[in-house]
Amino acid sequence: MERSAFIVQAIVLVYLLMGILMATIPAEVDLAKKKIFRTLRLISAAKARTPLNQRESRISRGVGIGIAVAALFVLTQMHLRVGEMSEHQRPAWSNPAASEETVSDTSLHHTVKRVIDPVADQYIGLIVATVADDEWDITGFGRINLKSNIPPDHHTLFEIGSISKVFTGILLAEMITTTDLALDTPVSSCLPALQGSQADTMTLEHLVTHTSGLPRMPAGTFRPSNIWKAMIAGDAYRNYTEQDLLAKVPNKPSETPSEPDVRYSNVGFGILGMILSEQSGEDYHHLIQARIAKPLGLQDSGVTLDEEQQSRLATGYRSYLHLGPYYLAQQAASWNFPNCLAAAGGLRSTASDMLVFLKANMGQLSSDLTPVLQQSHQPLFATEEIQIGMGWFHDTLPTSDEPIIWHNGGTGGYRSFIGFTANGRFGVCVLSNSTRSVDTIGYTLLENLIAERPMIT
């Protein structure tokens, strides 16, 4: 995402320069163009030497002005931010049980700092929640936005993107125990509009394990309005409808069902969220509140934010280039998911809530949801390359060969990672308000914790 954003910005700047040159020195631009065409043998030598006449010069100037104005308009819509970093910044802090000015002095905190300090300046802001056996740490780095020197803390909200999918998987596991739903429930039996389609042979298990065969994105992804939003880091998902998702389900059921294969699908999880909402009579936000947030004591995890929570949302940035004391960044709009897609990536949360969520999934916090959480981890689909539970991915760390359970996420201006060892000893959640991946931070921190704290047998 970050690299593609820089490419788009560079292309717009090239068009701006080209427009300015065409408007100010049309004859020289035309001569340079003809030299290139002549070198490529696209025009004759005589044509290459023909100068612009007055009419052609006026047309070139007009086109150049048009290109420059259009490029300037696009640049203004991109919300680019250029400035100088302040050298005076509050220190990163941890341990929200203490005051916000307190920096914990545990070995766990030192491990977190040692791993992340060398890469922290590649990000605008980071907050890292870490669990190691009976210790925990929350440490913030950077800043909540480029106008501030304040680092994120345990109450700072971030978009967590596709980590929402593991919440959705847990919702499914919970509703299987409390309703008539089952993993083998046909999708079309829950959504009558899909009866007679491929959804007749598609089950809830297919949706939650990305084996439904549905595509990654809903219909309408390449509408001009959505392409424009993607280019300017706008609110990309706001206007999607249920029909945009259902349109991606093939109309005719497959006569010879193929072997399941993994195809990561936001559409599939969106439809799963629609089914859970339909069965419960509640929208996705209120399902999360009632069935996960309240039982676990999560204070700030949901799709919609009230005014006070909105004031604590870190500003997201799609691209970020840090050169010495200066920066170039593109501010991103928040992604406001409609109910039909919220289950795929619409949640916001804090490090404090994600620490609780992490510990609950690691078996370190007991609640009525504990059996449901454990059930959501169990692999439902497995090949030599991949294992998937109810939204959770299973992997093996490359250095220690330690099995982990994990997911990551990303929206227009945020990145996230959550992962923990299958034995429940170590866990990490990383939240960032820029779009450089944080997966490597999560993996590296887990590897360091395992190396520093070997299992005593």
Does 147 map to a domain? no
* Tens digits of residue pLDDT in 85-123: 555 444 444 444 433 333 445 689 999 999 999 999 999
Contacts of 187 (CB under 8 A, 6+ apart): 194, 199, 200, 202, 203, 204, 206, 207, 212, 249, 271, 275
Interhelix angle 266-280/164-178, rounded to 10 degrees, is 40
Does 86 map to a domain? no
Does 183 map to a domain? yes
User: Which residue among 77, 94, 117 closes a domain?
Assistant: 77
* Tens digits of residue pLDDT in 346-360: 999 999 999 999 999
How large is the C-alpha radius of gyration of the chain?
Answer: 26
Does 107 map to a domain? no
Residues 274 and 399 both lie in one domain: yes
Does 19 map to a domain? yes
User: Which residue among 48, 77, 106 closes a domain?
Assistant: 77
User: Which residue among 77, 110, 140 closes a domain?
Assistant: 77
Residues 25 and 164 both lie in one domain: no
One-letter amino acid for residue 67 of the chain: I
Residues 165 and 18 both lie in one domain: no
Q: Whole domain around residue 35: which residue ranges?
A: 2-77
Least reliable range by pLDDT among 90-94, 158-162, 169-173, 322-326: 90-94
Residues 65 and 181 both lie in one domain: no
**Looking at the whole model, is its pTM more than 0.75?**
yes
Domain of residue 330, CATH code? 3.40.710.10
Number of domains in the chain: 2
Residues 165 and 73 both lie in one domain: no
Residues 228 and 337 both lie in one domain: yes
Does 217 map to a domain? yes
Residues 441 and 314 both lie in one domain: yes
* Tens digits of residue pLDDT in 188-235: 999 999 998 889 999 999 999 999 999 888 876 666 766 766 666 678
Supply the pLDDT for residue 62: 85
Residues 292 and 169 both lie in one domain: yes
| Reported confidence tier of residue 32, pLDDT bands at 50, 70, 90 | confident
Q: Are 129 and 137 in contact (CB under 8 A)?
A: yes
Does 124 map to a domain? no
SS (H, E, C) the chain: CHHHHHHHHHHHHHHHHHHHHHHHCHHHHHHHHHHHHHHCCCCCHHHHCCCCCHHHHHHHHHHHHHHHHHHHHHHHHCCEEEEECCCCCCCCCCCCCCCCCCCCCCHHHHHHHHHHHHHHHHCCEEEEEEEECCEEEEEEEECCCCCCCCCCCCCCEEECHHHHHHHHHHHHHHHHHHCCCCCCCEHHHHCHHHCCCHHHCCEHHHHHCCCCCCCCCCCCCCCHHHHHHHHCCCCCCCCCCHHHHHCCCCCCCCCCCCCCCCCCCHHHHHHHHHHHHHHHCCCHHHHHHHHHHHHHCCCCCECCCCHHHHCCECCCEEEEEEECCEEEEEECCCCCCCHHHHHHHCCEEEHHHHHHHHHHHCCCCCCCCHHHHHHHHCCCEECCCCEECCCCEEEECCCCCCEEEEEEEECCCCEEEEEEECCCCEEEEEEECECCCCHHHHHHHHHHHHHHCCCCC
Residues 395 and 290 both lie in one domain: yes
Does 340 map to a domain? yes
Supply the pLDDT for residue 173: 98
